[in-house]
Amino acid sequence: MATDRQSGSTPAPLAVLLDALDLETIDHFIFRGKTPPTRLVRIFGGQVAAQALVAAHRTVPDKAAHSLHAYFLQAGDPAAPVVYEVDPIRDGRTYATRRVVGVQEGRAIFNLQASFHRPEAGYDRQIPFPDGAAAPEDSAPWEGFGLPRRAAGQPEDPLPSPSLPFEMRVAPPAGGYTRLLWFRTIGAIGDDPTLHDCVAAYASDLTLLSVAMESWASEAAAAGRPVSLPGFVASLDHAMWFHRPFRVDEWMLYAQASPSSGDGRGLALGHMFGVDGRLAITVVQEGALRPPLT
């Protein structure tokens, strides 16, 4: 989608996302989030993770998130709001910890543990930017998941909407990664680093687990085994570490790989780099990947 990033106007899909992240405050540690219209039969996991991080951030005004660990407990209903209950486990001088439970109609659907940190001086090193990665302007528009299709019993489309709030371009694999995906929001979102954290949490769940499926499919095809989509796919847990400042409305490279699949699960690893080569975020996700019923 072409966007005039200087006009000051917010494109509609991005405005919808930002509105979903503007939680209603019910009490000091209780917040309510809504789900935008979606084609999914369950709430997109990245939305719940982003909203839960917003709720946690609201109760820690003087520190930045440095990590989160989350579990998707049950499928959420897009037609019902999610209430986020924040437990202020600890407030220290340098670190603070929050536990957030997403509740829908009396049942817990999501659990997040987040840690916050006051910036301080320290050693600074990182893994290298993927060697040979193409620049965004030299990368192709992303056209979806490179997964095989089955003739019947298709799983639902994994994306929450056909109009995403992100521009995405895919570069040829490099640096040992299976997929290199450039992304940025389709418009500017301001300078609040908290909002950039939460939008990155949303984006982190859009494509990562599929790399585990694609890796399995590619290896199966190379070995001459039958290839088809799993019959059931769902995120189980999700972890993020925020290493360095970044802007999600500027190009970021999401370098993705899958270390392992087995026992009905797939594991995916992602590194988000700024266009300047600095490692901003590490993401790890595991999901249920069950074969189709026969």
Mean pLDDT across the chain, nearest whole number? Answer: 89
Task: Return the CATH number at 247.
Answer: 2.40.160.210
> Within a domain: residue 127?
no
Contact between residue 205 and residue 238 where contact means Cβ atoms under 8 Å apart: yes
Smallest CA-to-CA distance from 270 within 74, 51, 57, 46 is with: 46
Residue 205 annotated as catalytic: yes
Q: Which range of residues forms the domain containing residue 177?
A: 12-121+133-146+160-290
Burial 273-284, CB ≥16 within 10 A → b, else e: bbbeeebbbbbb
Q: Is the pLDDT assigned to residue 151 strictly greater than 50?
A: no
Q: Tokens in use for 151?
A: 């003739």
pLDDT at 160: 75
Burial 124-162, CB ≥16 within 10 A → b, else e: eeeeebbeebbebeebeebeebebeeeeeeeeeebbbbe
> Within a domain: residue 220?
yes
**Dihedral (CA of 132, 133, 138, 143) sign:** positive
> Within a domain: residue 6?
no
Instruction: Choose, from 205, 210, 215, 258, the residue flagged as catalytic.
Output: 205
> Within a domain: residue 242?
yes
Residue 163 annotated as catalytic: no
Smallest CA-to-CA distance from 186 within 162, 165, 203 is with: 165
Residue 249 annotated as catalytic: no
> Within a domain: residue 59?
yes
At 241, the amino acid letter reads W
pLDDT band at 124 (very low <50, low <70, confident <90, very high): very high
> Within a domain: residue 241?
yes
Number of domains in the chain: 1
Single pTM value for the model: 0.91
> Within a domain: residue 222?
yes
| DSSP character at residue 277 | S
CB atoms < 10 A from the CB of 245, how many? 12
> Within a domain: residue 238?
yes
**Which residues are bridge partners to 282 per DSSP?**
241, 271
Average of pLDDT values for 266-288?
96
Q: Which residues contact 112 (CB under 8 A, 6 or more apart)?
A: 49, 52, 53, 56, 68, 69, 70, 71, 99, 100, 101, 102
Q: For 52-107, what is each residue's pLDDT tens digit? A: 999 999 999 999 999 999 999 999 999 999 999 999 999 999 999 999 999 999 99
Instruction: Choose, from 104, 115, 235, 258, the residue flagged as catalytic.
Output: 235
Q: Could you give the CA distance from residue 106 to residue 172 in angstroms, rounded to a whole number?
A: 46
Q: Tokens in use for 258?
A: 């899958």
